Amino acid sequence: MRSLSEIDTTSKRASKAAGYSWGISEEVGKNVRMLEMFGLPGIKNLNDFFKKKKEYKFENLNLISLDNKAIKFHFCPIIAGTSFLDQIKSLENSTEIKFEKIGYPLLFLPFVSRASEIVGKRLFLKLDDIEFLLNFNNNIYSNFIKNNIIEVANFVSIKFLNNADSFLEKEWNELYKLSEDTFVEETDSLKKSGAGAGLTDND
């Protein structure tokens, strides 16, 4: 089994050989490492993308808007992802951002996951009928269970979710009340034995 370090390094070098700058290639290495760590087929999709990249043209998306439509070709997932991550602070107050025709969208996904951490919000990514909930770049929930290649997503959307507790205030109050049973009332004895309560002045 290949280590995550090997996956990162090889993906980075392959990206440079495929024509990307070292800076972008380093991002790709991190991203594929992350996909594989979460059990998603990063290497498989990256390898196939680079083979297809020689045959087909992919359109670069450098400026992200609320509604992004490819003019002639599918969007390159790496350039679109880099642009999205670079511009996320100006997009974080959006409700939803849409894309049409992103090639190899699983390679776009890690950029969105990392953006979730930057803005401190959960992001809901939909690739046609495949759904991903990205939680601050810590974990991913999805209905995607196949270890296969996704060559294109015709309709892609990213929704910014408002942060909210998963529990009711009543449930919190009940649990907090139970936790109070661990509180110890401070006594003169505890004050004397507590940290910083020595009777000898060493200064």
In DSSP terms, 163 is beta-bridged to: none
pLDDT, tens only, 47-93 = 999 999 988 899 999 999 999 999 999 999 999 999 999 999 999 99
pLDDT of residue 146: 83
Rounded average pLDDT over 112-136:
97
CA distances from 131 to 17, 100, 137, 141, 194 (A): 32, 16, 16, 8, 53
Q: Provide the pLDDT for residue 200.
A: 53
* pLDDT at residue 54, rounded to an integer: 82
Whether 35 and 109 have beta carbons less than 8 Å apart is answered as: yes
Beta bridge partners of 39: none
> Which residues, in sequence order, are bridge partners of residue 96?
159
pLDDT at 147: 87
pLDDT tens digits, residue range 125-157?
Answer: 999 999 999 999 999 999 998 889 999 999 999
Predicted TM-score (pTM) of this structure: 0.86
Distance CA 184, CA 180 (A): 9
198 pLDDT higher than 60: no
CA distances in angstroms from 102 to 58, 109, 161, listed in the order given? 9, 11, 22
Angle at alpha carbon of residue 49, lines to 108 and 41, rounded to 5°: 65
Whether residue 46 contacts residue 14, with contact meaning beta carbons closer than 8 Å, is answered with yes
pLDDT by residue (tens digit) across 15-51? 999 999 999 999 999 999 999 999 999 999 999 999 9
- Asked if 118 and 149 count as a contact pair (C-beta separation under 8 A), the reply is no
Alpha-carbon distance of 109 to 18, in angstroms, equals 20
